[in-house]
Amino acid sequence: MAVIRYSKYEGTLDDLDMADLMRMLQDRLLQSGFERNPYDPDPNHRPTMQDLHEAIAQALVDNDLVSEEVLKDALAAEDWLDTELGAAARELARRLEQEGYLRANPAEDGARDAEGAAPASAGGPAADPGRATFELTDKAIDFLGYRTLRDVLGGAGRSSVGSHDTHFTTTGVETVGATKEYEFGDALNLDVPTTLARAARHGLEDGRIDLHEEDLRVQESEYYSSAATVVMLDCSHSMILYGEDRFSPAKQVALALAHLIRTQYRGDTVQFVLFHNGAEEISLERLAMAQVGPYHTNTAQGLRLAQRLLLRQNKEMKQIVMITDGKPSAITLPDGRIYRNAYGLDPLVLGETLREVGACRRHGIQVNTFMLARDPELVAFVQRVSAMTRGKAYFTTPSTIGRYVLLDYQAKRTKLVN
């Protein structure tokens, strides 16, 4: 009689799913510079492949995916990348690139070898991990946005499904059961029984129904509004200066909001503005790798740029979501020079900033501010902004900013329209 013996299955790193690895690396991939030197941040810093290898190795250790012997060999080696742990980290980096989560950028002066051939993949031996950088792909950004969205809304006990429904109705395909008289411009989604019953009141003429325009009844359907949003992210020095990384959670919120809009509110748009000494529009791809710099807070320039972006959008609702931890401390003068004053609310800075807030109000743009600090001067300024634009002000922390932003985005639409 044949005997079958069963033994415990011991998984290997070859079985590790790259989505699980991305989840382990999420915080490291979205870091803002806080871990390097918060007192001297470099806004142009780009993580290298060696940074990625170290992050992967740390994730493997933290999740008990390497044995003690492998870890001891790595700690005792002159170069841990030459050990079994280093080989595993390089292989996993190669798999991340192969599965489309990241894109390697070779070092500029080492882009080609002596024969003119392009170097090997970032995970391969020919790449210089200390100089080659990498960037996240759309797939990685979408994955990280989904992860953040699920974590935030799951913790809040809400679902991310839905659309910006309003109390208005229109004519279309998805009906709500009610009917209305046809008006010029309505879709001819006829309520046939009601229309024929109304026409029958005129009697028959030569065996035919005499149908008048006023007899036409059309089905009503839900009317959904669309919104244009600009997320203003403060990347001034204070976002990482006071012993706390505030910028990384803000970036995660931006990724989650973009994922929410792309998947659930397809008629909406979202754009991103970084404000510091000046302000700049930034793509979602660049935002994921953005770093805090030694900057002041030019809120006025950020509002000015956000308005320009919103006025190009033909949407029923326009809003600015501003995430900041500091009061305005800089403005752009008419000749392009930057005027700075980090001490208190300078009257010149405050006046220029409030002029831009007034322009938002005239254009029907609501400003909702999420404050990561409770400086009394900042609170007073934000309360004034909220009153001028009929917006909202939230006192949040890095751990709760996502919940406030995302749930407010979903709940606010009906209130705004109606």
Burial of 219 (0-12, 13-18, 19+ CB in 10 A): buried
- Tell me how many degrees the CA angle 46-307-231 measures, rounded to the nearest 5: 40
For residue 26, is it within any domain? yes
Q: Between 298 and 265, whose confidence is greater?
A: 298
Does residue 6 fall inside a structural domain? no
pLDDT-derived band at 105 (thresholds 50, 70, 90) equals confident
Tell me, yes or no, whether 130 and 176 share the same domain.
no
* Percent of the chain whose pLDDT exceeds 90: 33
Pairing relationship of beta strands 208-209 and 217-224 according to DSSP bridges: unpaired
275 is a domain residue: yes
- Residue 296 inside a domain? The answer is yes
pLDDT surpassing 70 at residue 275: yes
pLDDT of residue 283: 92
pLDDT surpasses 50 at 166: no
- 0.75 surpassed by pTM: no
- The pLDDT of residue 185: 67
290 and 303 in a common domain = yes
- For residue 17, give the 3-state DSSP assignment: coil
Q: pLDDT tens digits, residue range 132-147?
A: 888 888 888 888 887 7
Last residue of one domain, picked from the residues 187, 206, 223: 223
Distances (CA, A) of 119 to 10, 79, 95: 35, 22, 17
Residue 188 has pLDDT above 90, yes or no: no
pLDDT given for residue 162 in this prediction = 41
CA 370 to chain centre: 15
**CA pseudo-torsion sign 313, 282, 349, 366:** positive
Residues 263 and 376 in one domain: yes
By three-state DSSP, how is residue 133 classified?
A: strand
Per the model's pLDDT, the better-predicted residue between 388 and 42 turns out to be 388
Tell me the backbone φ, ψ of residue 36, rounded to 5 degrees: -85, -75
Whether 116 and 59 map to the same domain: the answer is: yes
Instruction: Write out the residue range of the structural domain in which residue 381 sits.
Output: 146-163+225-417
Same domain (yes/no): 248, 106: no
Least confident of 29-38, 52-61, 200-209, 269-278: 29-38
The last residue of one of the domains, among 223, 243, 267, is: 223
Q: What pLDDT, on a 0 to 100 scale, did the predictor assign at position 177?
A: 55
Name residues whose C-beta falls within 8 Å of residue 81's C-beta, 6 or more positions apart in sequence: 50, 53, 87, 89, 90, 129
**Would strands 133-136 and 165-181 be described as parallel, antiparallel, or unpaired?**
unpaired
Residues 96 and 39 in one domain: yes
Do the domain assignments include residue 46?
yes
Q: What are phi and psi of 7, to 5 degrees?
A: -125, 160
Report the C-alpha gap between 199 and 177 in whole angstroms.
21
Angle (nearest 5°) at CA 224 between 218 and 226: 140
pLDDT at 125 over 70: no
User: How far is Cα 280 from Cα 288, in angstroms, rounded to an integer?
Assistant: 15
% of the chain at pLDDT higher than 70: 79
Answer whether residue 141 is part of any domain: no
The pLDDT tens digits for 8-55 are 445 578 888 898 999 889 888 887 766 677 767 778 788 889 989 999
Q: Which of the pair, 246 or 187, is modelled with greater confidence?
A: 246
Residue 5 located in a structural domain: no
Structure confidence at residue 352 (pLDDT):
95
Same domain, residue pair 159 and 302: yes
Per-residue model confidence (pLDDT) at position 397 = 84
Residue 6 has pLDDT above 60, yes or no: no
Q: Cα(91)–Cα(121) distance, rounded to whole angstroms?
A: 11
Strands 279-282 and 269-275: what pairing?
antiparallel
Decide if pLDDT at 341 tops 70: yes
**Greatest Cα pair distance in the chain:** 102
DSSP state of 190: B
Sign of CA dihedral 310, 311, 316, 322: positive
- Specify the pLDDT at position 392: 86
Q: What is the pLDDT of residue 39?
A: 67
Quick one: pLDDT at residue 149? Answer: 72
The residue out of 182, 208, 223 marking a domain boundary is 223
Query: What pLDDT digit, counting tens, does each position of 223-266 carry?
Result: 556 889 999 999 998 898 888 889 998 888 888 888 888 888 87
* CATH (domain of 274): 3.40.50.410
The single residue listed with the structure tokens 């142009």 is 44
351 vs 216, which has greater pLDDT?
A: 351
Residues 27 and 38 in one domain: yes
Same domain, 158 and 299: yes
Are 181 and 111 members of one domain?
A: no
**Can you tell me the distance from the alpha carbon of 316 to that of 118, in angstroms, rounded to the nearest whole number?**
50
With a cut of 80, say whether residue 267 has pLDDT above it.
Answer: yes
Integer angstrom CA distances of residue 300 from 10, 284, 307, 348, 409: 58, 22, 11, 11, 23
Domain shared by 322 and 184, yes or no:
no
Mean pLDDT estimate for the chain: 80
Count of domains forming the chain: 3
The pLDDT value given to residue 190? 78
Could you tell me if residue 8 is inside a domain?
no
pLDDT over 80 (residue 404): no
The confidence score (pLDDT) of residue 167 equals: 45
Q: State which amino acid sits at residue 163.
A: S
Distance (Å) of CA 176 to CA 180, 192, 197, 221: 11, 16, 20, 5
Same domain membership, residue 182 and residue 297:
no
For residues 127 and 49, the answer to whether their CB atoms sit within 8 Å is: yes
Of 207-211, 300-304, 382-386, least confident by mean pLDDT is 207-211
Query: Residue 2's pLDDT band (boundaries 50, 70, 90)?
Result: low
